[in-house]
Structure 1
Amino acid sequence: MRTAHVRRAVGTASALLLLPALVAGTTPGTATAAVAAPRAAQAAAGCGTATALTKKLPNGTTWTMCWRISGTKGLVLEKIAYQPRKEPHPIKVLDSAALAQVNVPYDSGLTEYNDLSDIGFGNTAVDIGSDECPGGTIGSAYVPQQERTVKALCATTAPHGYAYRSDVQDERGNAKKYTKQGSDLVVFSVSQLGWYEYVTQWNFSDDGTVTAKVGATGDLSPSDYSGEGTGWPIGKGGHDHATSHYHSVFWRLDFAADGSARSKVEQYDTKTAGRGSGSAVLKTTRTPVAKELAATSALRRWWRVVSPTAKNTDRHPRSWELVQQHSDHYDAHAYTSKDVYVTQYRACEQLASGNSDPACAGRGTSVDKWANAETLTHPVVWVNVGFHHIPRDEDQTPMPIHWQGFQLVPRDVTAMSPLTPDDLAGHNGRAH
């Protein structure tokens, strides 16, 4: 979508100096530089120099976290916790979550970008206007590369449609319809790299689901039009062709399942095991992931991260399931050819490629080099979602946003849905 000479000129990615944001006195829906919050308040939230963010959604679920802007990664979320309305304490989910690379190779073989390690999403963060953050609050961060404070983060709420709908009997045996609409805490930042504009977004739902996604918008780069027949014809006739290309987006997830870094990872596979009287027999097997893993998705395959100690009130271990969306992984690189990596935690392993931390010298610079069968005691999960973008006429102009991402869904975190109506609280298992 863009060539090197149209890219914003930036130097080496660097950490950003943060100003505490989303503080009392910040006007909802108004882009404003944040005033300094009391350091004591930040420390009380456990965020250090990052900024605390807390939101109670209409259905009673509360999400808490810390946010900061990294020059390389852009938006970084830390100490993420989830508290359904009937839980006495917050339930920790992730110690940190952030992008780990955006690899963009072009089908022509002439151009390739690594947007995080080469340029940085924080270094290219842009101002978010009030019309882009409806009903929300905009937080600011100082960006050294731009020598200015950027209105870099929006935190708002948005409806997500049905939370549930059910016609059942209440505790007295009376027929009743139960229905409720759901909502999300939506947190996002925007980065502009040449002709592309990326939205790094996280949705935190009232049912405990976490949705991570990156949206690409902006414009098709005129510099990438070609009359050579590569790509897809754009504009009048067959003169201009916009070159097709890949987006391989990586996320790095350091779990803290119920506060423990010593989480367990499990893989599940469901396969046909014969025929029953009415349908095929399917058997699901669990495989503990005891050593580092480099894996591809498969039909009826999924993973979960399990707390080593915590259980819900039904005495089932609490866990978070990785739910993957469609992905076309890029098989021309070793590190982009897999969908999921699980590696042993090392502080210096932060980027899926182009990882240049001197503390990792000799270990390789990409995640595929780190998944070498080491025993897991503190697993880190890396998720790769690939999208092959073949441009179309409708991509101009501006280009409609296209999203790629995944979800983390609570599995047995609570004994029942966190949104269960009070008069159905006894409908657990076969109790009804």
Structure 2
Amino acid sequence: MPEQHLPGGVRPRIPGRAARKSAAVGLTLAALTAGATTTAGPAVARPQTAPAAAAPGCSAAHTIEQKLSTGTTWRMCWRYDSKAGLVLENISYRPKGETKPIKVLNSARLAQIHVPYDDGKHEYYDLTGQNFAQELMELAPAECPGGTIKSVKVPDADPSHPNVKGLCTTTRSRGHAYRMHDLVQPDKTYQQQGKDLLVYTVNQVGWYEYITEWRFQDDGTVAMNVGATGSLSWEDYNAQDGRGWPIGKGAKDYATSHSHNVFWRLDFGLDGSSKTKVEQYDSTVSAPAGRQEGPTAKTTRTKVAKELAGDHKAYRWWRVVSATGKNKDGHARSYELVPGPTIRYPGRGFTKHDMYVTEYNTCELFASHNPKCANGHPKSVDKWVGGQALTHPVVWMNVGFHHIARDEDQQPMPVHWQGFSIAPRDVTAMNPLTPKELAWQNGHWEWRS
């Protein structure tokens, strides 16, 4: 049976969705009576429970602040957009040893989830066309262990139930942050288990549930991921071989293959200034020459002075550089863009590139079908790259996944993740988690007795 279409290309609503939401209303109202947040079950690594002081530009209720057990503090504002869902703003990072917070981002947000089906019959734009934000899901305490679940007022939601207990902030361990066996002192090993601040929401679109996850690590890295879970569409088992995959007994029912192209929009504000610089680095490797023992590699820097449509390739990377701030070694602070696994979708102009850098424009908020600009303004990010000089660059990241279903996708469907991270490059003079005993080993050092 083909997938049913509602007016405007909206996916059919899931039966029972409204009932599940209504069943949670009593719990939501109880939470609101007690305040803006509720706490989940106990855990060893528990975020602070005292209300955070207001971050710049937002109230205390819309501030997220967490000092991790390793000494790093992350602070930010949050709000909930009628199409993008969770938006994080004024994000700052204060590692131990720094006298004040270091601003990293003015804002970070999802910018589109594009879902084209392989048979060409359906194509969805989940943020701007499928009520992504309105379908914020209630979270149970077990989903936010040791953390706090905040109540969110959802724009354009059911007016009788506008508040959803749907924003989790908690901490997670991520394994080794570092490990070093001291060669000079054989009985000494330095190791540290890393800690993250995790902020996430879950939004339902049709049969899918999207987990939008932001991880703020104690080493200054920010990881941004979207995890798709929920269920395969039970109305899309009419694909032919080559457009789908047989699911269930025999080779009768073919689940239609499709893509998920997820976009993020990052507005950097390093050290409090939006006048950041973007640089591209490319390395070339040459075969050994003469008496050289091995091949050589040479890295060149290209300053990105104008808007860019860029693609990942071997030995290529980008960084966003502060125009005003330097670390204690005198090096300009920057953040490197670190891509995750991706499949570039060639079917649409805006999905043909892995990343874009555009000059800031207040109305350019979504990578495609952007509804915020005046008539006549191009609707997608690829059309905004027009050679304009960059004075306030905005970075758009595109991460694609081609979903060819498998038997293990039932039931429920395991989460498949796609995303990327930004990693500090020269933000601090040393590893921000460096133990005191090694703090003197900065730059070229020799053992001292």
Structure-2-length-normalised TM-score: 0.87
**1:75 counterpart letter in structure 2:** L
Q: Which runs of 5+ in 2 are unaligned?
A: 18-28, 42-49
TM-superposed deviation, 1:222:
1.1
Q: Partners in 1 of 2:236 and 2:117 — Cα distance?
A: 10
Counterpart pick for 1:194 among 183, 190, 206: 206
Q: Give 1:13-412 correspondences, 5 Å limit.
A: 26-29=37-40, 42=54, 45-47=56-58, 51-143=62-154, 144-147=156-159, 148=161, 149-168=163-182, 175-226=187-238, 228-229=240-241, 230-276=243-289, 277-359=292-374, 361-412=375-426
Counterpart pick for 1:413 among 427, 430, 435: 427
- SS of 2:220's equivalent in the other structure is coil
- SS of 2:219's equivalent in the other structure is coil
TM-superposed deviation, 1:280:
1.2
Q: Partners in 2 of 1:7 and 1:116 — Cα distance?
A: 15
Alpha-carbon displacement from aligned partner over 1:23-55 (angstroms, at most 9, x marks no partner): 98844216xxxxxx99x954x643159700100
CA contact (8 A) 2:56 2:90 kept: no
Q: Partners in 2 of 1:174 and 1:339 — Cα distance?
A: 46
Residue 425 (str. 1) matches residue 436 (str. 2)? no
- SS of 1:268's equivalent in the other structure is strand
Over 3 Å counting, the alpha-carbon distance change for 1:264 and 1:395 in structure 2 is: same
CA contact (8 A) 2:343 2:399 kept: yes
Q: Partners in 1 of 2:236 and 2:422 — Cα distance?
A: 36
Q: Percent identity?
A: 53
Alpha-carbon displacement from aligned partner over 1:71-118 (angstroms, at most 9, x marks no partner): 100110000000001110000000000000000000000000000110
Q: Partners in 2 of 1:28 and 1:217 — Cα distance?
A: 25
CA contact (8 A) 1:73 1:120 kept: no
Match of 2:47 in 1: none
Q: Partners in 2 of 1:49 and 1:379 — Cα distance?
A: 29
TM-superposed deviation, 1:56:
0.4
Q: Partners in 1 of 2:285 and 2:276 — Cα distance?
A: 30
CA contact (8 A) 1:341 1:382 kept: yes
Over 3 Å counting, the alpha-carbon distance change for 1:358 and 1:415 in structure 2 is: closer
- SS of 1:423's equivalent in the other structure is helix
Match of 1:16 in 2: none
Q: Partners in 2 of 1:393 and 1:424 — Cα distance?
A: 51
- SS of 2:386's equivalent in the other structure is coil
CA contact (8 A) 1:3 1:224 kept: no
- SS of 2:200's equivalent in the other structure is strand
Q: Partners in 2 of 1:275 and 1:194 — Cα distance?
A: 56
Q: Which runs of 5+ in 1 are unaligned?
A: 11-18, 31-36
Structure-1-length-normalised TM-score: 0.90
**1:405 counterpart letter in structure 2:** G
**1:285 counterpart letter in structure 2:** T
Over 3 Å counting, the alpha-carbon distance change for 1:104 and 1:25 in structure 2 is: closer
Q: Partners in 2 of 1:49 and 1:103 — Cα distance?
A: 34
CA contact (8 A) 2:239 2:255 kept: no
- SS of 1:117's equivalent in the other structure is helix
**2:332 counterpart letter in structure 1:** P
Alpha-carbon displacement from aligned partner over 1:213-245 (angstroms, at most 9, x marks no partner): 000000011100126333000000011010100
**1:269 counterpart letter in structure 2:** D
The CA RMSD over aligned residues, in Å, is 2.4
Over 3 Å counting, the alpha-carbon distance change for 1:196 and 1:267 in structure 2 is: same
TM-superposed deviation, 1:358:
3.6
Over 3 Å counting, the alpha-carbon distance change for 1:135 and 1:270 in structure 2 is: same
Aligned length: 412
Q: Partners in 1 of 2:5 and 2:203 — Cα distance?
A: 17
CA contact (8 A) 1:271 1:284 kept: yes
CA contact (8 A) 2:237 2:256 kept: yes
Q: Partners in 1 of 2:191 and 2:304 — Cα distance?
A: 39
**1:368 counterpart letter in structure 2:** D
